[in-house]
């Protein structure tokens, strides 16, 4: 008798797994951790997906759309447990091995995310980071939408200027952040963080 795949609402998106699902919280608690331990399992080596690279080693990576089971095994062997899909097309999660979760945050090609979408992305990565579970973000080629979100995470995580964040992502991942709208999204998110910080200081 085959197990049915469950689906769970997670940080403004949906997470799928072939086993149990776990809802991620802004401040994770050990009692809600239900991932299968794959650290000590012998896994196939997998194949590196096109345009895969770490932006923050062990924490956040970017990639093109994973298309085959060997890509999923590669993720697991890298310590990745979460795949954030920014494209309108989903990866074939039905063939993904146990222990990988998918957050679906679709953005139209060449378009930019909203501040709310960026916040969901950042919160999700921070949540997984607290659990020491790696995250990979992807769109179709891993350039525009992916690069934009990766740059936004650097702005939040390191407190750097948005243009510096964009430059760093482009150095690591050529052709990232493809449009002026996507550049503006990183700048707008940085402005949002500054505004929020000023308001917090007043209180």
Would you name the residues annotated as active-site residues?
Answer: 139
Q: What is the dihedral of CA 194, 138, 82, 107, to 10 degrees?
A: 60
Rounded to 5 degrees, φ, ψ at 168 are: -65, -40
Name the strand (E) or helix (H) holding 194.
helix 180-202
- Whether the Cβ atoms of residue 70 and residue 47 lie closer than 8 Å to each other: yes
- Whether the Cβ atoms of residue 64 and residue 84 lie closer than 8 Å to each other: no
Task: Please tell me the distance from the alpha carbon of residue 7 to that of residue 48, in angstroms, as a whole number.
Answer: 27
Structural Rg of the chain based on CA atoms = 17
- Whether the Cβ atoms of residue 84 and residue 136 lie closer than 8 Å to each other: yes
What is the SS3 assignment for 181? helix
Residue 28: Cβ within 10 Å count = 18
Tell the residue number behind the tokens 């910080």, with chain if given.
Answer: 197
- Whether the Cβ atoms of residue 100 and residue 91 lie closer than 8 Å to each other: no
């Amino acid at each position: 008798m085959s197990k049915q795949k469950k689906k769970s609402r997670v940080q403004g998106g949906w997470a799928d797994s072939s086993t149990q699902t776990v809802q991620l919280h802004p401040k994770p608690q050990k009692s809600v951790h239900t991932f299968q331990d794959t650290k000590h399992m012998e896994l196939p080596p997998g194949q590196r997906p096109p345009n895969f690279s770490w932006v923050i080693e062990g924490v956040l990576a970017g990639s093109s759309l994973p298309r085959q089971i060997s890509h999923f095994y590669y993720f697991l062997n890298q310590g990745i447990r979460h795949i954030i899909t920014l494209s309108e097309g989903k990866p074939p999660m039905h063939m993904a091995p146990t222990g990988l979760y998918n957050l679906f945050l679709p953005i139209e090609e060449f378009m930019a995310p909203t501040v709310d979408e960026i916040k969901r992305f950042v919160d999700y990565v921070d949540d997984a980071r607290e659990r020491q579970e790696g995250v990979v973000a992807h769109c179709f080629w891993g350039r525009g939408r992916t690069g934009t979100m990766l740059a936004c995470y650097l702005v939040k995580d390191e407190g750097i200027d948005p243009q510096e964040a964009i430059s760093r992502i482009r150095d690591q991942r050529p052709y990232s952040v493809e449009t002026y709208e996507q550049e503006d999204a990183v700048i707008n998110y940085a402005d949002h963080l500054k505004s929020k910080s000023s308001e917090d200081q007043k209180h």
